[in-house]
Amino acid sequence: MNEFFVAVGLGLCLLVFLVLYRVIFGPGVFNRIAAISAVGTKTLIILLVLGYVYNRVDMFIDISMVYALLNFIGCIAAAKYLEMER
Amino acid sequence: MEVTLFIHAADDAFRILENAKVQAVGLLDTATRLTSETRWMEEKKVQGILKGAQATRSGFQNFFATFVMLLAFWALLSGKFDTFHLSLGVICSLIVAYLSHDLLFANVRVGDGRVIAQRFLFYIPWLLREIVTANFYVAYLALSPRMPIDPQIITFRTKLESDISWVALANSITLTPGTITIDIENREFIVHALDRKVAGDLDTGEMEDRVAHIFMEADHIYIQDVLDVSRVFAALKRGM
Amino acid sequence: MIASSDDIIIKTIARIFVPFIQLYALYVIMHGHYSPGGGFQGGVILGASMALLLITHGYDEVKRRFPENVVLLMGSVGVLIYAGIGLTCLLLGGNYLDYGQLSVILHVEPAHARSLGILGVELGVGFTVMAIMYSIFFDISTGGILPGDDKLNGELEDNG
């Protein structure tokens, strides 16, 4: 079972690199914000999968909740900043 | 000669008939619009009376409901049920509930909470099914080599009343793959849809009906409501 | 200056989430010695919840809910708690922040006293971090100019 979770985590890491292309080269700042949000979501799932690998899901759920929260607030803050710039 | 005259006369007659028809349709349209507007206003008035009759929660009730919810959340997080940690939880919940008792239940009416929670739980499986089916469709769109997408922005006026139901509908739309809620501007939903079929699914308004049913919007008496009441009546009858 | 947002979705979501975020932050502070987290992390989450409220509900609402001077006072009280616990340990004959010494005045075993002492220190750190994060965010978002300072505001607008 552990190998399965490791494989899932590695696959998600690969997907993060795909999205990272949009973050670096993506035309316009909105693409970048959306891509960063997507990277955050992927990281969250990777954290949970890691929790299963290390058998400490309760601990990793705490961390991933904070990560999700800060991702959400950061995304809104960036959007608000752009709205005020306009 | 007579034939051309006859044809002209027939043409005139047809034109007059056509004009009359257009005018009649216009009149009918205005009439229906007027009646629907008056009906809407009447409904608004009745709703206002109903809402006034149902008193909103008092400050203390709000505080207590928030406190109970936060304490349950704390128990879920903490998982330690000895006296020390539970008392810590009670203290923290009290502080947070005092700070934000008017945030969580800003406009929920008395006695609605349990029904809403129950109906929301029954709504989730339906939403999950919608998400999965839409997911397969969007995957087909993305994977087919011709990419037969037809992105469009559709707007529709919602019949929902409260902000929480707007948000529930907007998030349900966004969660369903293929559609994204862009904005809500005075009861007008602006939605980006990936395809005509997806947009058509949205236009049937089933999701809106279900959300309205969850939050018990006043002008929606649904079959589900009638069924609920009939069950109660049946139980009463059996009791007698 | 951040005005109240007119986006109904974000506003409602923030309204519903903020109490839970604050409770979660307090949980992170209180359970710092069992699970990841602690004073600093919990304080940052508390500050983030206030920043969320500031972004969505605007300056006036946040000012009404958490007045800046009260929050700064809480930050100072946090430092006071931290230093107070440390100095109490010092006065009781131990090192600075040597929580084991607290067992004398708390009438509990040293191990339990250590746990309680760490909890108090975490609480102090959390309050301070929250207050400072909030203050920094507040000052950056308003540019250090409050709405009361009409004269200053006017001068700034004149200059561009």
Q: Is the pLDDT of residue C133 over 70?
A: yes
Is the pTM higher than 0.90?
no
Question: C16 — contact with chain B (CB < 8 Å)?
Answer: yes
Contacts of C19 in chain A (CB under 8 A): none
Structural domain of residue C23, as residue ranges?
8-145
Give the residue from B203, B209, B162, B161 showing the smallest Cα distance to B179: B203
A 10 A CB-CB count for B32 gives 10
Of B71, B104, B137, the residue at which a domain comes to its end is B104
Contacts of C56 in chain A (CB under 8 A): 76
Contacts of C5 in chain A (CB under 8 A): 80
Give the residue from A16, A52, B71 showing the smallest Cα distance to C27: B71
pLDDT tens for B75-115 read 888 877 888 888 888 998 998 888 887 777 766 655 567 78
In a 3-state reduction of DSSP, which class is residue B209? helix
Percent of chain B topping pLDDT 90: 4
Q: Is the pLDDT of residue C126 over 50?
A: yes
Structural domain of residue B182, as residue ranges?
113-237
Nearest Cα residue in chain C from A66: C45
How many Å lie between the alpha carbon of B109 and the closest alpha carbon of chain C? Answer: 16
Domain assignment present for C70? yes
Domain assignment present for C157? no
Return the pLDDT at C160: 43
**Interface mutation vs chain C, best among B71, B100, B173, B191, most C CBs within 10 Å:** B100
Question: C132 — contact with chain A (CB < 8 Å)?
Answer: no
Percent of chain C topping pLDDT 70: 86
Q: How many domains does chain A have?
A: 1
Return the pLDDT at B215: 78
Contacts of C31 in chain B (CB under 8 A): 78
Nearest Cα residue in chain A from C50: A73
Domain assignment present for C3? no
Per-residue pLDDT of chain A (86 residues; tens, 9 = 90+): 788 999 999 999 999 999 999 899 878 888 899 899 999 999 999 999 999 998 888 888 888 988 999 899 998 888 888 887 76
Residue C8 near residue B106, CB atoms below 8 Å: no
Residue C23 near residue C42, CB atoms below 8 Å: no
Q: Is the pLDDT of residue C128 over 90?
A: yes
CA dihedral (C135, C137, C138, C141) in degrees, to 10, reads 160
Residue type, B226: V
Answer yes or no: do B40 and B72 share one domain: no
Q: How many domains does chain C have?
A: 1
Return the pLDDT at B218: 54
Contacts of C12 in chain B (CB under 8 A): 163-164, 166-167
Answer yes or no: do B93 and B183 share one domain: no
Answer yes or no: do B118 and B233 share one domain: yes
Is C10's CB within 8 Å of A58's CB?
no
Q: How many domains does chain B have?
A: 3
Q: Give the C-alpha separation, C4 to C2, whole Å.
A: 7
Give the residue carrying structure tokens 């746990």. C115
Residue B55 exposure: Cα atoms within 13 Å on the Cβ side? 5
Is B99's CB within 8 Å of C27's CB?
no
Answer yes or no: do B218 and B131 share one domain: yes
Q: Is the pLDDT of residue C93 over 90?
A: no
Is B92's CB within 8 Å of C30's CB?
yes
Residue stretches of chain B with pLDDT short of 70: 1-3, 39, 45-58, 106-112, 217-229, 231, 239-240
Which subunits have 3 or more CB–CB pairs within 8 Å of chain A?
C
pLDDT tens for C38-87 read 888 899 999 999 888 888 888 888 888 888 888 889 899 999 999 998 88
Contacts of C34 in chain B (CB under 8 A): 80
Is C8's CB within 8 Å of B181's CB?
no
Nearest CB among C13, C20, C65 relative to B73 is that of C20
